[in-house]
Amino acid sequence: MGSAVRYWAEMMTSSGMVGSFTDAGTGSAGTSRETASIQSGRFTAPKWGRAYSQERWGARRASTVCRGSIAPKGIWAYAHQDIDEALAVRLPIDPPHGRLMMRSLLSVTVLVLLISAAAAVPAAAAPDGQVTWGVHISLAPTWFDPAETPGIVTPFMVLYGLHDAMLKALPGNPLAPALAESWTVSPDGLTYEFVLRRGVKFHNGEPVTAEDVKFSFERYRGSANKTLKERVAAVETPEPGRVRFRLKQPWPDFVMFYSTATGAGWIVPKKYVEKVGDDGFKKAPIGAGPYRFVSFTPGVELVMEAVEGYWRKTPSVKRLILRVIPDPTTRYAALKNGEIDVTYWMTASLGEDLRRTPGLTLRPVVSSVMQWVAFVDQWDPKSPWHDGRVRLAANLAIDRQAINQAETLGHSLLTNSIIPNTFDFFWAPPPPQYDRARTKKLLAEAGYPNGLDAGDYTVDAAVVAIGEPVANSLQAAGIRVKLRPLERAAFQKGYSDKKYRNLVHSGSAAFGNAATRIEAFIASGGAYVYGSYPDIDGLFREQATELDKKRREATLHRIQQLIHEKAMVAPIVQVGLMSGYGPRVEESGLGLITGYSFSAPYEDVRLKGK
């Protein structure tokens, strides 16, 4: 359809003047409040019981047309795209009696209608303005490359801007089609075929093709890469817009692992990566997301700029800045004085002040962020953590209710699991208990009547606000630990490299289900697994190929029961993240995606008056 005519039809439809339009060339159509259609140049108005062809109405081609009701009582306008040659408007009068009066109008008249219509309903505004986030961690260039995505949610803060995935979590849909507009699974569960969305391009203008999808999967080396590649027999590209994954055996979690639980399904441009190399890509990443990379200053900020024509919608805000401000007090001061527009991870005292400050909005979000103490030495017979009584004692020593109230104003959920309660296959354990007397009794039974020196308690510096009161709870019960905070990127690397001893303050907000969380932190071979138990590993292998959902659920529930019975971890809370935003922001993006910790989708973020 000619752009002018299509614009006019869409504008008239949205304004309520037009019922609908159909492009006879492409078959695309708007939704109509009045029953009517155009097919191959034929206009039908069932409410009148008559049909009118283009030839009868004087139009010279039947390729692209639009129609609509432009006045009360059934007056219809009918326009051809060739404005200079054959634009005509025909007005049927008194339709119940079928009487017609035909009047040809000059092209100039139609152009006046187009201009008037455009004035009445303006085109979608171009991206404008700037929104700045105060982020609580240092941004690592490794997060600019989906191939290196670890089993945590933090990199998605960047991925949702610069890159796009085959499938991803979006508002109202935890597994929404994105670069893949559809996918199918063979009856035997061995073949998954994805159809790519047409016309999508990377930021350098290259089209997103099946070869890019295959390349992105094959170079993926982040969390669960071993699990993925051991189970995929082949990746085929029968057409530029079609990708086929063949599995070695049925795997019901393939789509979950491939899409939202890892970075394997986030697509990068093959030709560009091969040209610049991995290091060059981190310095100047190119993706297919709603925002393109502008600049990155280590320890300071990442700057991104809107991509007009992004397939889902053109972003409203032109420029996004993720500014690194690790200290919460400094971050909050920047929000109050207008240096930033959105802040993440507020402490309780700052959250209270934010809630009382005119113009500022506190936005708590119960996320999928689970935090727990990992006993990484429990498989070492010489360690006190090898004794299940000591691990249980630590569980009973943590005053979770006090931590929740003091650090998140009661917005967190107390939990006895490392798996969010919104995940598929979640098993609801008994509620956590706080019992200091029993803690001391268990320690005495294990040979530590005077408590024990438990060594380092390594924690991500960004979550010290929760790690510190946990350490205090343990200390008060006679479990003497030394808090050791590390900056997030360094913390995650040391954790995955198995460098830590004694206790680790662990956590994850990665998308997925119970199986994906168990794979990363509990089962043998996981990214953050220091040791495992044969009974749990056997059950995990069993559920991985079980196609009956009920039987699979029972197996995953049993795994979670064993984790609880063995006191493998000490769960703390499902975090209610306290973020906030300033007076310029209409839509912060916080909480739009269920369980997601940060603002997203970025193209939905809006400033007031925009």
Banded pLDDT at 152 (limits 50, 70, 90): confident
Q: Which residues pair with 578 in a beta bridge?
A: 364
Contact 71, 78 (CB under 8 A): no
pLDDT of residue 151: 76
The whole-number average pLDDT for the span 204-231 is 96
For residue range 396-443, list pLDDT tens digits in order: 999 999 999 998 899 999 999 999 998 999 999 999 999 999 999 999
pLDDT tens-digit series, residues 448-473: 999 999 999 999 998 998 999 999 99
Task: Report the distance separating Cα 61 and Cα 40, nearest Å.
Answer: 10
* Range(s) within the chain of domains with CATH label 3.10.105.10: 365-576
Can you spell out the DSSP letters for 518-575?
HHHHTSTT-TT-S---HHHHHHHHHHHT---HHHHHHHHHHHHHHHHHTT-EEEEEEE
Neighbouring CB atoms inside 10 A of 256's CB total 20
pTM of the model: 0.72
Residue range(s) of every CATH 3.40.190.10 domain in the chain: 130-340+579-607
Question: Which residues does 411 contact at the CB level (< 8 Å), separation at least 6?
Answer: 364, 366, 404, 576, 577, 578
Q: What is the dihedral of CA 290, 294, 296, 302, to 10 degrees?
A: -40
What is the structure's pLDDT at 426?
97
Assigned CATH topology for domain 365-576:
Dipeptide-binding Protein; domain 3 (3.10.105)
CATH 3.40.190.10 fits domain 130-340+579-607: yes
The least confident of 22-36, 184-198, 267-281, 569-583 is 22-36
Closest to 289 measured CA to CA, from 311, 264, 271: 311
pLDDT over 90 percentage in the chain: 70
At 468-505, the pLDDT tens digits run 999 999 999 999 999 999 998 899 999 999 999 999 99
Tokens of 500: 């830590």
Compute φ and ψ for 289, nearest 5 degrees: -80, -175
Interval 500-545: pLDDT, tens: 999 999 999 888 999 999 999 999 999 899 999 999 999 999 999 9
**How many angstroms separate the CA atoms of 120 and 16, rounded?**
12
pLDDT given at position 124: 60
Distance between CA 463 and CA 481 in Å, rounded? 17
- For 159-172, what is the HEC assignment? HHHHCCECEEEECC
3-state DSSP assignment of residue 42: strand
The H or E element containing residue 179 is none
Identity (one letter) of the amino acid at 351? G
